[in-house]
Structure formats: structure tokens, C-alpha cells
């Protein structure tokens, strides 16, 4: 976990180390570090944003993203993604709602962190999750037509003013000068906030007074530098939802211009941009050829062996999603850390990877039955799920075999499921089953 930023304004070393690690893994050319702040109040919105990217197949964006979790619940919720626990606001500042002293400090600490990363030569993309992506925006920014831009955003107000919720910053001289100026103005705001050592006591009649976005409006227009606003026909603010005519050439919609998370969620649902099911899981994407569910609890060595066999299998032409379902002991001791680490660090290039940790012990039965809920699948979505316990390994051809056998027999009225292991006992009467099946049989029913 991290601690509040020190008085010298330098971000915690563990946060910088996490940022460097994620930036080092980015496969964009040129590379980017995407940075998202998450609190427990916005984990559901963040999960929807992650699902939005997953459904588009934008795994490259997620691999380049560092989630800055500012409380323990949001950190726990982001298992499986690049995350770091960051506590930039001491409890004495109270809440971090917009316009509060805590909010101003949070934004100041974020600005300091970005400045430090820019000084280290790292391009930073500041992204908020109350938005819908329709394309890979990082790839758009990397297009040759924007190669000489110092910074990029989109017009949030219709007055040629940038949005702080989508901001791409390259570590150029002019960007560094702009960001250093913004950091200094933030520092001035905090100096005005302090009141006898109790900054949380201050109330502001105008919460915009300390808004980093409003500070940036003037700088963006007046400071030297090539600061670019992305095409307004493709990058839209929340007023798009109120327009009677919905143009189709959309790359990005920010769900702003409405107050309250519940109203944002309702609006996203109304327009088909809410991607979570009733259990707040990423709703299945029709089109995945297979979904593999790995059932585990606290056997990291065998889990690692299974993962290695899955990674080495032949998936040519198949889209295969991978979901880890991690049970916890009944004694309340919490998930096995090494098992969680194996799941979180497993590289998966063949589809969507997700990690789910049960909040309580469900047992082997619960893990089998409840890790997949067919009733929550999208209407008409013919999901094909493979359940694997962690003490197995798979053949290099397991995916091809399962996909082929399901194509051939899934609609047969007498077939209920498919097994990848040769049965050792007869279903009726017991006894050795192996003697009744020819060794060269590719598939058989029983």
C-alpha cells in the first residue's frame, strides 16, 4: 500500500515503480501510460469501462493502464489489473467530493504525480471511466497526423476548451511548462485552503474555484505549444445524449452534463452502453468461441502448471476467454495471496482474461455451479464454457477438440455435456470403463 504524498510533493516510490512497470509493458508504438484514479464509490462505473474495452478487444489499452486505487475496497475490486494502492489525502481532509478540500488535494497530488512522470520522459494519458469508447483512442492519438502534438484532448464545452477526463500529455518542453504552471496554481489553491491546520473546515461558495480543469482552460489557449483538440464530430460530451439526431461517426462519448452516478448509469443503460449484467459482471460477448473457467483456491503450484499448459495450447482461429474463479477458506483467512498472484500475472493473448475472488467460501460445488450462470448470458448468445480444476493440465489441442466436438454434437437431443477426461467407471453398474472403449476412439458417448 501507499501513503500520503510527502511535503516535498514527490509521489511515493511504490507508485512511481508501478507506473514504470506498466509503461515498460505497453506495446503501443510509441508507448503510453494510461492513468485512472479509482475510489470505492466508482468501482462499478470502472468495471463497466473495463468491460467496454474488453468487448472491443482493446486488451492493449488495459495492459497499458495503471489504476490508482485511493482506498482498499477499490484496490481489492481491481484484482487482475495493473493497480497500486495510493493514499494521497489524509483523513483530516474529510471526503473528496467535488469542491471539497479533499478533492483539491487529490487533484493536486495527481497533478504532482503526472509532472514527475513527464519529467521522467513518460507520456501520460489521464482517463476517467464515466465514458464509452468505440475505438482504440490510444491508437488514434498515435496516428501520424497527431505526431507533433504536445498534448491532446477533446472540446468539452463547445468553446475550444479541453476536458480533464481525456487528456494525452507528451513529455515535451511546452507540455512540461504548462503542467508545472498548473501544479503551481494547485499549490496556491491549497495554501488558500489551509485554516489553522484544519483544511477540512473550509467551505467554498463556488466549488469551481479550485478546479484544475478550469485552470487549464486559460493555459491551453494562451501558453505556447501545440495543444490539439480531437475532432468534435467524433469525440463528444454528454450533450450527445440529449440530441434528437444521433450521428454514427462516434469514437468517444463522455457521460457528463448529468449529476449523480445513478443518473449516469441509467443513461448508459438506455443507450446500450452499460455492459455489466445483474451481478455486476462483464456480460458475455457473443462471438467468443470458448470460455475457460479455471476453478482454484490455494494450490498455486498446480495452478501455474495448468496456466502454462493453457498458454501453450493451439488457439489458431479461435477467440478464447479465460476466467479464474478463486475460492477462499471457510476460516475467514481470505484468499491465498500466491494463488491470486499467479492468476493476476498470467499473460493471456487469446481473448479476455478476468480474475474473480469469492467474498466467502463457496466450496467446490459452489465454484462449479455458480461460476457460470447461463441465465445471465446475452439473449441468443450460445456460450460454450469449459470448466477446469486447477490440478489438471490440458493437451495442446484441447481447445480445437472442444470446439469441434461442440460443433458436431451440441444440438444432439441426448447430449448434455462433454468431458475431456476418459471416464474410469461406467455410469450404471460400476466397473472398469476403459475395457469397453477402443483405444483409438476420438469421441464416445456414455
Sort strands 227-230 and 151-154 into parallel, antiparallel or unpaired: parallel
Which CA distances in Å does 271 have to 53, 92, 275, 283? 17, 40, 11, 16
Tell whether 6 is covered by a domain.
no
Of 280, 302, 306, nearest in space to 373 by CA: 280
Tell whether 424 is covered by a domain.
yes
The reply to whether 189 and 314 lie within a common domain is: no
Q: List strands edge to edge, sheet with 83-85.
A: 83-85, 65-69, 33-38, 124-127, 166-169, 151-154, 227-230
Of 270, 303, 330, which residue is a domain's last? 270
Of 270, 301, 328, which residue is a domain's last? 270
The reply to whether 203 and 317 lie within a common domain is: no
The reply to whether 119 and 217 lie within a common domain is: yes
The reply to whether 228 and 317 lie within a common domain is: no
The reply to whether 317 and 183 lie within a common domain is: no
The reply to whether 256 and 383 lie within a common domain is: no
* H helix and E strand count, the chain: 13, 14
Angle between helices 13-25 and 101-119 (to 10 degrees): 50
Q: Which residue has the cell 482504440?
A: 136
The reply to whether 231 and 330 lie within a common domain is: no
Q: Which residue has the cell 489521464?
A: 126
Number of domains forming the structure of the chain: 2
The reply to whether 295 and 265 lie within a common domain is: no
The reply to whether 76 and 222 lie within a common domain is: yes
Tell whether 405 is covered by a domain.
yes
Tell whether 181 is covered by a domain.
yes
Tell whether 149 is covered by a domain.
yes
- For the chain, the straight-line distance linking the first and the last C-alpha, in angstroms and rounded, comes to 53
Are 238 and 158 a contacting pair, CB within 8 Å? no
Of 140, 215, 207, nearest in space to 179 by CA: 215
Q: What is the span of the domain harbouring residue 240?
A: 13-270
Q: How many whole angstroms from its chain centre is CA 410? A: 33
The reply to whether 88 and 217 lie within a common domain is: yes
DSSP code, position 386: E
Q: Collect all residues with Cβ–Cβ distance below 8 Å to 120 and sequence separation of at least 6.
A: 16, 20, 171
The reply to whether 174 and 302 lie within a common domain is: no
Per-residue pLDDT of the chain (446 residues; tens, 9 = 90+): 333 334 455 789 999 999 999 999 898 999 999 999 999 989 999 999 998 998 787 888 998 999 999 999 999 888 778 999 998 888 777 777 766 777 878 888 999 999 999 999 999 999 999 999 999 999 999 999 999 999 999 998 888 889 989 999 999 999 999 999 999 887 877 777 655 444 444 444 455 555 677 778 778 888 888 999 999 989 999 999 988 766 667 899 999 998 888 999 999 999 889 988 877 877 755 656 888 999 999 999 999 999 999 999 998 878 888 889 999 999 989 899 999 999 988 888 787 788 888 989 999 999 998 888 776 665 556 778 999 999 999 999 999 999 898 888 888 888 878 888 766 555 566 566 566 667 777 666 66
Are 64 and 43 a contacting pair, CB within 8 Å? no
Note if the pTM is more than 0.75: no
The reply to whether 200 and 313 lie within a common domain is: no
Tell whether 294 is covered by a domain.
yes
Tell whether 25 is covered by a domain.
yes
Enter the C-alpha cell of residue 5. 504524498
CA distance 439 to 323: 33
Of 239, 270, 301, which residue is a domain's last? 270
Give the CATH number for residue 113: 3.90.550.10
Tell whether 277 is covered by a domain.
no
Amino acid at each position: 500500500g501507499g501513503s500520503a504524498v510527502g511535503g516535498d510533493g514527490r509521489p511515493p516510490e511504490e507508485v512511481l515503480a508501478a507506473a514504470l512497470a506498466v509503461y515498460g509493458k505497453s506495446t503501443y508504438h510509441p508507448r503510453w501510460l494510461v492513468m485512472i484514479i479509482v475510489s470505492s464509490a466508482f468501482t462499478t462505473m470502472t468495471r463497466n469501462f473495463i468491460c467496454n474495452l474488453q468487448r472491443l478487444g482493446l486488451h492493449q489499452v488495459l495492459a497499458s493502464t495503471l489504476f490508482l486505487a485511493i482506498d482498499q475496497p477499490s484496490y481489492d475490486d481491481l484484482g487482475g489489473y495493473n493497480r497500486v494502492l495510493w493514499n494521497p489525502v489524509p483523513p483530516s481532509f474529510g471526503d473528496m467530493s467535488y469542491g471539497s478540500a479533499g478533492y483539491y488535494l487529490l487533484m493536486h497530488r495527481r497533478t504532482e504525480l503526472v509532472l514527475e512522470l513527464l519529467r521522467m520522459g513518460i507520456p501520460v494519458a489521464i482517463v476517467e471511466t464515466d465514458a464509452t469508447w468505440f475505438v482504440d483512442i490510444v491508437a488514434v492519438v498515435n496516428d501520424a497526423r497527431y505526431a507533433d502534438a504536445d498534448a491532446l484532448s477533446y472540446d468539452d464545452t463547445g468553446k475550444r476548451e479541453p476536458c480533464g477526463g481525456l487528456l494525452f500529455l507528451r513529455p515535451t518542453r511546452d507540455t512540461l511548462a504548462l503542467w508545472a504552471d498548473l501544479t503551481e496554481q494547485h499549490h496556491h489553491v491549497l495554501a488558500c485552503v489551509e485554516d489553522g491546520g484544519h483544511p477540512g473546515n473550509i467551505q467554498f461558495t463556488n466549488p469551481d474555484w479550485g478546479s484544475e480543469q478550469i485552470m487549464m482552460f486559460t493555459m491551453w489557449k494562451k501558453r505556447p505549444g501545440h495543444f490539439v483538440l480531437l475532432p468534435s464530430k467524433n469525440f463528444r460530451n454528454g450533450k450527445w445524449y440529449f440530441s434528437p439526431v444521433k450521428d454514427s461517426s462516434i469514437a468517444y462519448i463522455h457521460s457528463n452534463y448529468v449529476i449523480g452516478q445513478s443518473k449516469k448509469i441509467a443513461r448508459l443503460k438506455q443507450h446500450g452502453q452499460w455492459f455489466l449484467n445483474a451481478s455486476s459482471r462483464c456480460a458475455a460477448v457473443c462471438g467468443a468461441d470458448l470460455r475457460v473457467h479455471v476453478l482454484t483456491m490455494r494450490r498455486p503450484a498446480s495452478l501455474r502448471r495448468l496456466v502454462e499448459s493453457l498458454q501453450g495450447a493451439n488457439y489458431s482461429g479461435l477467440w478464447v476467454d479465460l476466467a479464474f474463479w478463486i475460492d477462499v477458506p471457510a476460516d475467514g483467512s481470505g484468499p491465498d495471496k500466491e494463488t491470486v498472484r499467479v492468476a493476476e500475472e498470467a499473460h493471456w493473448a487469446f481473448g479476455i482474461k478476468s480474475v474473480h475472488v469469492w467474498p466467502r467460501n463457496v466450496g467446490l460445488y459452489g465454484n462449479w455451479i455458480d461460476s457460470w450462470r447461463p441465465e445471465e448470458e446475452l439473449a441468443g448468445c450460445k456460450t460454450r464454457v469449459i470448466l477446469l480444476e486447477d490440478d489438471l493440465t490440458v493437451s495442446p489441442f484441447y481447445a480445437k477438440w472442444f470446439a469441434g466436438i461442440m460443433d458436431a454434437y451440441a444440438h444432439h437431443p441426448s447430449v448434455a455435456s462433454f468431458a475431456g477426461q476418459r471416464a474410469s467407471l461406467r455410469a450404471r453398474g460400476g466397473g472398469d470403463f476403459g475395457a469397453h472403449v477402443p483405444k483409438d476412439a476420438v469421441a464416445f458417448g456414455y
